[in-house]
Structure 1
Amino acid sequence: MSEVPEYIYKSDKPIQLKSLINEALYILDKFGIPLSGLSQRRMERMAMAFLAVANVKQNTDWAKADYSHALRTRDIIRYCNNHFHENISESSYDDIRRKDLKLIVLAKIINASSANPNAARNDGTRKFALNPEYTALIKKFESDKWEQEVEEFLSSRETLEEQLSDKRDLNLIPVIFSSGKTFDFSPGKHNELQKLIIEEFLPRYGYGAEILYVGDTANKFLHLEAEILKRLKFFEISHGELPDIIAYSLERNWLYLIEAVHTSGAISPVRLLELKKLTEQCEANIIFVTAFLDRTTFRQFSPDIAWETEVWIADAPDHIIHFNGDKFMGPYLEK
């Protein structure tokens, strides 16, 4: 099974509990729950409500997930307070139904009113339990072919993410990787620039570089080669710290950390120091690149660019701006 991404990285909960919450979010993500745009706390609350209904208290409990374990909203609050270091007031029981479980119930991963299908929405006796069809997959979590089994299960079903996306696919930006794979990015200037980095910058300056990570506004981990990053001793994956694009050239043993800047995010001295500290153990040589769509945007950020980094501007794709004086000092000879 693939490495579980770190959806929650700002939580002050114990490491093991944070790991369990990230596993729960990974399961929900794979089941088609749209997590994009949700705050860290909202995802954390959703994951804990899901864990409570599944009766999963620790990482080793997934095989014990139980669809006969039905809880009322107040029961879910007590479960979270007792097992997940929470202090949720019982008076906020309606938030469990309206916020924490809303998407999971809409996706039919959890059944509402499991004990009484005719119960009113605000009935205090209304209970929530896992859908038996999803329970079988949850119990197999961490097995070698778990992702494949999920894909096969969902192949004949429309996920909540697909239902909510409706016809927005018409505006997606197709991006072709050097491997020939095509990924659809959400519309927007930032993703237009990411497309140009992948299709224009890396073929020119990447020495056969392979994309190891790229995110999207609708999918934080649109493409992730976690095993390769692990072999390179890259720092622990955390979306809050990752650059926009990571690519690796096996030919040069160069790892490109690229920020695609439309309104923010240039590699400043502070950001450079942060990235250098995070990649101290990395076995590849690091290339730091800030990319812009045009020179006008570059001029806005040029005072913030750190030395010992590169700048690429998409409207002049055959040129690189090198922010370091001595490395390339010398005359340009006539060809």
Structure 2
Amino acid sequence: MGKLGEALAILKKFELPVKQQNNRSAYTLLALANIQENSDWKDSEDNLVRIHDILLFISENYGYTYAENSRETIRRQTIHQFEHAGIVERNKDDPKRPTNSGKTVYSLTSEFLEVLKTYGTDDFEKSVEWFLDNQTSLSEKYQGIREIHKISVKVDDTELEFSSGEHNELQKDIIEEFAPRFAGGSKVLYVGDTAHKNLYKLDDELEKLGIPMTKHDKLPDVVLYDEKNNWIYLIEAVTSHGPVSDKRYYELEEMLEECKCGKIYVSCFKDKATFKKYVADIAWDTEVWISDIPNHMIHYNGDRFIGPR
């Protein structure tokens, strides 16, 4: 029946949802295992592949070309379901790698790989039965591995779980180190996450301050509110994306034209080396904080220290 047909039969045996019993998922399985048309399933490999690598493999070995914009479909409609089923694990070589990293790789779990190698033998049915009997525990096992590398931050009485990565580590520093030092008594109104944009958001309080929820996707990474002074801190955590530049400053000013709070714009960096990359982009009348020298700030203005303009 050919390797594509065999891969489809395997997915059916493993009781994948109907929406994952298709050519897209079958090709993805073949790419993950490095199975070409003349390969034997017993030679399935433990590869680390990016979504881009999967597209190349399919094109080069099976003559079917997916457009580059198909990557998100493969990730969301195949890879995610493979992960939940205990078939695939993400970033085995570096579990702390950020979710949105361009270096993110996927590989078959060791348990699934061993079963896959038995396809076409008398042991296959029994191996599949064992896998399905243990599917829930296997899925929890690999989910648990990812949970270990999450970043915990306490906001008021809420325990937030960030996905791993430099950007979210910096957001943790902003909440736990910057806020007590330079925004004492402030309340966290919003914080995003590389995996979940709206990880923590107090809609009612943001709206009361004149911050339109119709444009919440334009908010900076962290928003703090100092009720005593009626100041709002608009904070960008700068790792791979830019600081509060002139463009970003005026974009936020326009978005917050109904907000009557004093606005304090802050660009935060993990270290001086990252800060130096963005020096020329930072807008005047804004602030800079570097987390590895947490007791100091850099004020991009000539007449005053931290405070609204």
Q: TM-score, normalised by structure 2?
A: 0.53
Alignment match of 1:232 (pick from 188, 191, 209) = 209
Deviation at 1:255, TM superposition (A): 0.7
Does the C-alpha gap of structure 1 residues 221 and 252 become closer, same or farther in structure 2, counting only changes over 3 Å?
A: same
Give the length in aligned residue pairs.
Answer: 178
RMSD value over aligned CA atoms? 2.8
How far apart are the structure 2 equivalents of 1:224 and 1:167? 27
Alignment match of 2:180 (pick from 192, 203, 206) = 203
Does the C-alpha gap of structure 1 residues 165 and 283 become closer, same or farther in structure 2, counting only changes over 3 Å?
A: farther
SS in 2 for 1:287: strand
Corresponding position: 1:175 with 2:153: yes
Deviation at 1:219, TM superposition (A): 1.4
How far apart are the structure 2 equivalents of 1:176 and 1:237? 27
How far apart are the structure 1 equivalents of 2:144 and 2:159? 21
Mapping 1:181-196, distance limit 5 Å: 181-196=158-173
How far apart are the structure 2 equivalents of 1:102 and 1:266? 34
Percentage of pairs with the same residue: 43
Deviation at 1:327, TM superposition (A): 2.4
Query: Larger % of helix: which?
Result: 2
Deviation at 1:237, TM superposition (A): 4.2
Q: TM-score, normalised by structure 1?
A: 0.49
Mapping 1:10-49, distance limit 5 Å: none
The structure whose RCO (Cα within 8 Å, separation 6+) is larger is 1
Once the two structures are superposed, residues 109-131 of structure 1 have per-residue CA deviations (whole angstroms, 9 ceiling, x without a partner) of xxxxxxxxxxxxxxxxxxxxxxx
What letter corresponds to residue 179 of structure 2 in structure 1?
A: L
Aligned twin of 2:267: 290
Alignment match of 1:278 (pick from 255, 259, 265) = 255
Deviation at 1:167, TM superposition (A): 3.0
How far apart are the structure 2 equivalents of 1:280 and 1:327? 23
Contact between 1:207 and 1:251, CA under 8 Å: does it hold in 2? Answer: no
Does the C-alpha gap of structure 1 residues 162 and 217 become closer, same or farther in structure 2, counting only changes over 3 Å?
A: farther
SS in 2 for 1:283: coil
Once the two structures are superposed, residues 151-198 of structure 1 have per-residue CA deviations (whole angstroms, 9 ceiling, x without a partner) of xxxxxxx9xx98984531010111122x24321111100011000000
Aligned twin of 2:239: 262
Deviation at 1:221, TM superposition (A): 1.1
What letter corresponds to residue 147 of structure 2 in structure 1?
A: D
Mapping 1:45-60, distance limit 5 Å: none
Deviation at 1:240, TM superposition (A): 3.8
Contact between 2:242 and 2:278, CA under 8 Å: does it hold in 1? Answer: no
What letter corresponds to residue 169 of structure 1 in structure 2?
A: E
Alignment match of 2:279 (pick from 283, 288, 302) = 302
Contact between 2:167 and 2:194, CA under 8 Å: does it hold in 1? Answer: no
Q: Which has the larger radius of gyration?
A: 2
How far apart are the structure 1 equivalents of 2:140 and 2:284? 44
Contact between 1:267 and 1:305, CA under 8 Å: does it hold in 2? Answer: yes
SS in 2 for 1:167: helix
What letter corresponds to residue 253 of structure 2 in structure 1?
A: K
SS in 1 for 2:299: strand
